[in-house]
Amino acid sequence: MSAFWAEFVGTFLLIFIGNGVVANMVLKDTKGGGDPGSWIMITSAWGFAVFVGVVVAGPYSGAHLNPVVTLALWLDGALEGSQVGVYMLAQLLGAAAGTTTNYIFHKTHYDITEDAASIRGSFCTSPAIKSTWNNFFSELAGAFVLMFVIFYISDGAFEMAGEEVPVGLGSVGALPVAILVWVIGLALGGTTGYAINPARDLGPRIMHQLLPIKNKMDSGWDYAWIPVIAPLCGSALAYAVKEWLLMTV
């Protein structure tokens, strides 16, 4: 990449993310605008959750933890096609198991919670303002930033105890990717709740539908396709832009 395009892309990300945080805090009806302190807590916790998952899974699978990562690494030639379905299925089942365990852990609190939207929100995402185009673009952009930055902070492999570890978030390092997810949440999560991970949204949404939760509302299936399809599109776009920048400018 030339110096010009490096400066262009770096400054683009700087302003997109920086002003995104401001917009999420000050604009009406964003996820972060109502209670900034709570939103900071939520986004921080998701960053820490990524850190924990990467630390545990990194040495063994590369810690994709997200079909967005799996798709991009397959496109990049870092993952065999036969493994794509295996990774994505494991991610979906892991997300479903995680949210079910969370429900069991907090069941007495779920039983006395009457706000159906809050109950669903603890399982899966929903937009602050429903707008198919804007919601789709929000999820696409969040996943694009996630994967585009990962491409540039990962050399594609790393070693642990002298042995090469499978490529994935583990090759980036748990702390950098946790900070990245935290920043994306602060800046770009205010419109849709930043699923940026099809497994993270679909697995828990299925369990919200299946579990006998008191006072629950519908599982929002009219919206469910967006946090599945849009992040995958963002992943493919991140790969395409990365290749274009490396090969042509």
The CATH number of whichever domain residue 176 belongs to comes to 1.20.1080.10
pLDDT of residue 157: 46
CA distance 20 to 190: 9
Q: Distance between CA atoms of 191 and 20, rounded to whole angstroms?
A: 10
Residue 123 lies in a domain: yes
Number of domains in the chain: 1
pLDDT of residue 173: 66
d(CA 60, CA 57): 6
Query: At 249, is the secondary structure helix, strand, or coil?
Result: coil
Q: Which residues of the chain fall short of a pLDDT of 70?
A: 1-3, 6-7, 10-11, 13-16, 18-20, 22-23, 26-27, 154-173, 249
Helices (H), the chain: 3-26, 36-61, 67-75, 81-105, 107-112, 116-121, 132-153, 169-172, 174-188, 198-210, 226-248
Kindly state whether residue 105 falls inside one of the protein's structural domains.
yes
Instruction: Decide if 243 is inside a domain.
Output: no
Report pLDDT for 42: 87
Is 140 within a domain? Answer: yes
DSSP secondary structure, 121-148, as one string? HTTS---SS--HHHHHHHHHHHHHHHHH
What are the φ/ψ torsions at residue 157 (nearest 5 degrees)?
-165, 155
In a domain? residue 9: no
Pseudo-torsion of CA 200, 221, 208, 134, nearest 10°?
50
Write out the residue range of the structural domain in which residue 125 sits.
Answer: 36-229
On whether residue 6 sits in a domain, the answer given is no
Does residue 242 form part of some domain? no
Task: Confirm whether 120 is domain-assigned.
Answer: yes
pLDDT in tens, 219-249: 999 999 999 999 999 999 999 999 998 887 6
With CA atoms as reference, report the closest residue to 177 among 146, 136, 211, 155. Answer: 146
Written as one letter, the residue type at 232 is: L
